[in-house]
Amino acid sequence: MRALGFMLAAVGAIALLPLHAVTAQDIPARLLERVPANMVDSVQRIAQDAAAHGLPVEPLLLKAIEGSAKGVSAERVIAAVRVLAARLGESRNALREAGIPAPSPGAVESGADALNAGLNASQVRDLGRVSRPPYDPVVTLQVVAALTALGVPAPQGVRLMAHMIHAGREPKDLLELPNEVQISMARGATAAEAAEGLDAAQGGQGPQGQQGQQGEGNNPRKP
Amino acid sequence: MTTYHELVKRLLDGELTLADLPPELHPQAREALHLVAALDREPVTLSPELVGRVMVSVRGRALSPARRVWRWLAAPRDFELRLRVRPLAIWGGAVAAAAALALILGHLSTGTSPVPVARTASSDNVVFVRFVLYAPGAKRVSVAGTFNQWNQEAAPLVLAGQDGVWTTTLALPVGQHQYAFVVDGERWVADPAAPAVGDGFGRRNSVIAVTPQGARTL
């Protein structure tokens, strides 16, 4: 009888193992390792919903992990993940309106970062419109987001980027813009003044300027 | 050696902004920011042979969860186990194990992960980036970000000399990353030499873009 009891207990215990393993398998391993248990279900629900809508999931998981690493309360982390999911959706819609029918996960995430930095959806859409090959919306969105983070007004940053593209600057030159603004700021200019100076160099006319039509011949970085 | 005003040190530490400082300190603050920014933006160029050796070593050390489990299982340990069982119990255990295995295989064959992992980075496409923080008085400093899953133990900085300058060089995959320094294991500090964005939790993250040509503080 004791042997039968042992056998039944063993069957029960071992049969339960795979059920638990499958549940854990459904959640990315690092989320389980890095996020408190009381947060995992909520984050997973948000992530599943995002995935069902074709949105990238990785940024959501990273945001949850980041919040946990920083010791933020579960409620606040979940709220931040929800906000990010909404921004990813807003970014994706803006890029579709810009004529990019299937924006890459990187572009959607960059658009969400730009929204987080202070751009609005129409500015993300405008950047999407001017970001045609060889210009990558990932780069243009991230650069303008960085300019905004430095204090450049968002409309001015979008305009500067459009002027750079219309002037035929090389895509890698776009990445230098935040550094150039920082250098001007270190010399005493405000962020807006720094961006205005760069814009003028592209043939724009400052905050009220028109789009530059300089062509590649005026690109000092090109051989 | 230049000795900066305490408020300038706090600016470098990310605790103050330029606007918080009195005007007479602005030239000194700008000089300090410029110096740190120049340090931070300096891409580190290493020979392809060294990069190759490092990546081989990294790949060799990187263990998948399955390999970690296997290593744990395979590592020799001392156990003393005494069993008194009846043959019937042995057969019962075997039946239970078979049933469990069948359940596992059944789940594996039909189950799909509802949360796909979107990002995959080529480990060959990495750039070495140097991080610098001026943090006098700190006992330990690390850098955590999207590139290391915000793990504050993964990338410690080392004290360079006696001037409170902490530094480390990391191999980062090409792409855009957010990060922050962690001072003494508890204080999250944005990089004063890089643009920062809100982290959604009331703090700031610094932003860096890593391209095949080098790193830019985005």
Q: What is the ipTM of this complex?
A: 0.72
The pLDDT value given to residue A159: 96
Identify the closest residue of chain B to A144 by CA–CA distance: B218
Domain-ending residue, one of A92, A112, A130: A92
Question: CA of B80: how far to CAs of A130, A198, B35, B84, in Å?
Answer: 71, 74, 62, 14
The answer to whether residues A125 and A108 touch, using CB atoms and an 8 Å cutoff, is: no
The pLDDT value given to residue B5: 82
Domain shared by A86 and A112, yes or no: no
CATH of the domain at B42: 2.60.40.10
The pLDDT value given to residue B81: 43
The answer to whether residues A74 and A84 touch, using CB atoms and an 8 Å cutoff, is: no
Domain shared by A51 and A144, yes or no: no
CA B40, CA B34: separation in Å to the nearest integer?
A: 10
Domain-ending residue, one of A68, A92, A116: A92
Q: Which of A44, A56, A65 sits opposite B150 (nearest CB)?
A: A65
Between residues A216 and B45, which one has the greater pLDDT? B45
B169 belongs to a structural domain? yes
Q: Per-residue pLDDT averaged across A115-130, rounded?
A: 96
Q: Per-residue pLDDT averaged across A80-86, rounded?
A: 97
The pLDDT value given to residue B146: 94
The pLDDT tens digits of the residues spanning A194-208 come to 999 999 987 765 444
Domain shared by A121 and A76, yes or no: no
Domain shared by A102 and A74, yes or no: no
B134 belongs to a structural domain? yes
Question: CA of B140: how far to CAs of A69, A210, B51, in Å?
Answer: 17, 51, 27
Domain shared by A182 and A196, yes or no: yes
Sorting pLDDT into bands at 50, 70 and 90, what band is A214? Answer: very low
Q: How many A-B residue pairs are in contact by the CB < 8 A criterion?
A: 166
A84 Cβ contact partners less than 8 Å away, ≥ 6 residues apart: A59, A60, A63, A112, A116, B200
Give chain B's residues under pLDDT 70.
1-2, 36-47, 51, 54, 56-124, 216-218
A149 belongs to a structural domain? yes
Domain shared by A103 and A205, yes or no: yes
Q: Which of A1, A2, A4, A14 to probe the B interface (max B CBs under 10 A)?
A: A14
- Above 50 in pLDDT, residue A213? no
Which tokens hold the place of B210?
């890593």
Report chain A residues whose CB lies below 8 A from the CB of B115.
26-28, 44, 47-48, 51, 57, 61
Domain shared by A105 and A212, yes or no: yes
Domain shared by A157 and A197, yes or no: yes
Q: Which of B30, B115, B195 sits opposite A186 (nearest CB)?
A: B30
A9 belongs to a structural domain? no
Between residues A33 and B119, which one has the greater pLDDT? A33
B209 belongs to a structural domain? yes
Task: Report strand pairing: B175-183 vs B126-134.
Answer: unpaired
- Above 70 in pLDDT, residue A102? yes
Domain shared by A136 and A188, yes or no: yes
φ, ψ for residue A219 (rounded to 5)?
-80, 105
φ, ψ for residue B114 (rounded to 5)?
-75, -15
Using the beta-carbon criterion (under 8 Å), do B200 and A116 form an inter-chain contact? yes
Q: Which domain holds residue A63?
A: 31-92
A14-21 LR contacts (CB < 8 Å, sep 24+): A14/B96, A14/B97, A14/B99, A14/B100, A15/B96, A15/B99, A15/B100, A15/B103, A17/B100, A17/B104, A18/B100, A18/B103, A18/B104, A18/B107, A19/B103, A21/B104, A21/B107
Q: Per-residue pLDDT averaged across A66-76, rounded?
A: 95
The pLDDT value given to residue A13: 41
B37 belongs to a structural domain? yes
B106 belongs to a structural domain? no
**DSSP 8-state secondary structure symbol assigned to residue B184:** T
Domain shared by A36 and A137, yes or no: no
- pTM, 2 dp: 0.63
Q: Which domain holds residue B129?
A: 6-54+120-216
The pLDDT value given to residue A63: 96
The pLDDT value given to residue A212: 37
Q: Which of B95, B111, B211 sits opposite A175 (nearest CB)?
A: B211
- Above 60 in pLDDT, residue A210? no
In chain A, % of residues over pLDDT 90: 66
B208 belongs to a structural domain? yes
**DSSP 8-state secondary structure symbol assigned to residue B156:** B
The pLDDT value given to residue B134: 94
The pLDDT value given to residue A105: 95
Q: Per-residue pLDDT averaged across A31-54, rounded?
A: 90
B68 belongs to a structural domain? no
The pLDDT value given to residue A94: 98
Task: Report the domain count for chain A.
Answer: 2
Task: Report the domain count for chain B.
Answer: 1
A14 belongs to a structural domain? no
Low-confidence winner among A19-28, A31-40, B180-189 (lowest mean pLDDT)? A19-28
Average pLDDT of chain A to the nearest whole number: 82
The pLDDT value given to residue B180: 97
